[in-house]
Amino acid sequence: MTVFTHPEFDNHEHLSFYCDPDTGLRAIIAVHNTSRGPALGGCRMFPYASDEEALRDALRLSRGMTYKSALAGLNLGGGKSVIIGDPREHKSEALLEAMGRFINQLGGLYIAAEDSGTSVADLKVMGRQTAHVAGIAERLGFDGRPSTGDPSPATAYGTFVGLQAAVRHKLGRSDLEGVKVAIQGIGNVGYRLARHLKEAGAKLWVYDLHQDQMERAVDELGATAASADEILNLPVDVVAPCAMGAVLNDDSICRLQAPIVAGAANNQLASPRHDNALWNRGILYAPDFVINAGGIIDVYYERQGPDPQAVRRHVEAIGNTLDEIFARSANEGLPTGVIANQLAEERFKHTAR
Ligand code: NAD
């Protein structure tokens, strides 16, 4: 296994490996960049087929967090941790506490949040051993309602604001009345996004793997049910991927009919070149790591002290960041993902704490 010559290595500041034979914990923490602040990022638990696969994920995802937080204007760096193991089989309180001790050894350089394979309850167990966990406190949400720490409402609201910015830029519309939106994935984020859109007068098409999720949107929000095959290809104004990654690929991009892609799912582009493919087709893509930053903004404010109005204002600034990205993309003739990366680098490469 290589590190400094690894394809995903990008001058990461710190990399730690940890093994606790008593609990079976094997984990990696990757800290990509802390020029803007401590590295906050999810702790993922997954049955990686090899150490190499786990390292790759830790390097790649920690770098992504640096870009996401910089673009969200947060004083945070980028980090990620991975636990090698099947969360359904290998997770135990003792293992999670051992992970807490591992995180604590870094003295606050890295702050863990929930991710796939870990829950808020798991983070609370880690929190018995370290103060460096986030997204676990019950507090007032950005909408003034009590929140358990679930970042989905803030993510959905940020995606809604970002979608409005995309519609303004591409369609020259300042409202969403009658704007047609197809949402793939009606889960925690997708359903809430659908509700915001409905309230703003948009017309909705939905698809979810789970029939009951889809029916809820049809019954409660008057959405039209679509099939798995058609949801990304409908003649709508906006396609909003809110399920899984890699949905923007060679196959789907040539069949898209919508002029805008703006949704919350992480890692929507199957590869970086698909940013260019969308650009070449004249489709406006709201980079996922910009539009879905509401969750990390929400988690950040948990550490600053509760201030629902400040969270709301900060989430709404996602629209301004996208305005800037869309304008620069048009002026410079470069895809939006390229511009978003450049803007992030301007923000974290020239910041000395
Ligand atoms: P979720 O698990 O609550 O919802 C995802 C939904 O997608 C589920 O209802 C699932 O049935 C559906 N789904 C899965 N595969 C599908 C497919 N092939 N076609 C259609 N539907 C499918 O997850 P979530 O919290 O709503 O997150 C949605 C996306 O947003 C994920 O990509 C996530 O990484 C990203 N995201 C979420 C947050 C957050 O705060 N929750 C923050 C940033 C990014």
pLDDT at 317 over 70: yes
Under 8 Å CB-to-CB from 117, ≥6 apart: which residues? 44, 45, 46, 83, 87, 91
| Ligand 1 mutation target, pool 159, 213, 242, most atoms within 8 A of CB | 242
pLDDT of 352 higher than 80? no
Minimal-distance CA residue to ligand 1 atom 20:
208
State how far the Cα of 84 lies from the Cα of 177, in Å rounded to an integer.
47
Q: Which residue has 């984990």 as its token pair?
A: 27
Identify the three-state secondary structure at position 95. helix
Does residue 306 register a pLDDT over 80? no
Whose tokens are 């197809």? That residue is 182
pLDDT of residue 158: 98
Ligand 1 atom 39, closest CA: 152
Mutate to test the pocket of ligand 1, among 155, 183, 315 (most ligand atoms within 8 A of CB): 155
Q: What is the mean pLDDT of the chain?
A: 95
Task: Give 20 Cα–ligand 1 centroid separation in angstroms.
Answer: 32
Mean pLDDT of 204-226: 96
- pLDDT, mean of residues 186-191: 95
104 CA to centre of ligand 1 in angstroms? 30
> What was the pLDDT predicted at 353?
53
Q: Does residue 192 come out as left (phi exceeding 0), alpha (psi in the -120 to 50 range) or beta?
A: alpha
Is the CB–ligand 1 distance for residue 207 below 6 Å?
A: yes
Q: Is the pLDDT assigned to residue 230 strictly greater than 80?
A: yes
Question: Of the listed 68, 80, 91, 170, which one is catalytic?
Answer: 80
Give the rounded distance of the alpha carbon of 306 from its chain centre.
22
Mutate to test the pocket of ligand 1, among 183, 189, 195, 234 (most ligand atoms within 8 A of CB): 189
220 C-alpha vs ligand 1 centroid, how far in Å?
Answer: 19
- CA geometry: angle 329, 264, 327, nearest 5 deg: 15
265 close to ligand 1 (CB < 6 Angstrom): yes
Please report the pLDDT score of residue 263 as a whole number.
Answer: 98
Residue-wise pLDDT for 106-149, tens only, equals 999 999 999 989 999 999 999 999 999 999 988 888 888 888 88
11: left (phi over 0), alpha (psi -120 to 50) or beta: left
Q: How confident is the model at residue 17 (pLDDT cuts 50, 70, 90)?
A: very high
pTM recorded for the entire structure? 0.94
Q: Is 336 in the pocket of ligand 1 (CB under 6 A)?
A: no
- The response to whether residue 216 sits with its C-beta less than 6 Å from ligand 1 reads no
DSSP for 27-86, please give it: EEEEEEE-SSSSEEEEEEEE--SSHHHHHHHHHHHHHHHHHHHHHTT-S-EEEEEEEES-
Nearest residue by C-alpha to atom 27 in ligand 1: 189
| pLDDT above 90 for 1 | no
80 catalytic? Reply is: yes
Ligand 1: centre distance to CA 333 (Å)? 32
Tell me the CA distances in angstroms from 107 to 8, 58, 313, 335, one per residue in order: 25, 19, 31, 39
Q: Is the distance from the beta carbon of residue 92 to the nearest atom of ligand 1 less than 6 Å?
A: no
Q: Is the C-beta atom of 266 inside 6 A of ligand 1?
A: yes
| Residue 63 scores a pLDDT above 70 | yes
Nearest CA to ligand 1 atom 34: 266
Q: Which two tokens stand for residue 36?
A: 């803007």
- For a mutational test of ligand 1's pocket, the pick from 244, 261, 288, 311, i.e. the residue with the most ligand atoms closer than 8 A to its C-beta, is 244
Distance 191 CA to ligand 1 centre (A): 10
Read off the pLDDT of each residue in 34-61 and give the average, rounded to a whole number.
96
Q: Which domains does the chain have, with CATH numbers?
A: 3-136 (3.40.50.10860), 146-348 (3.40.50.720)
Neighbours of 2 (CB within 10 A): 9
pLDDT at site 138: 84
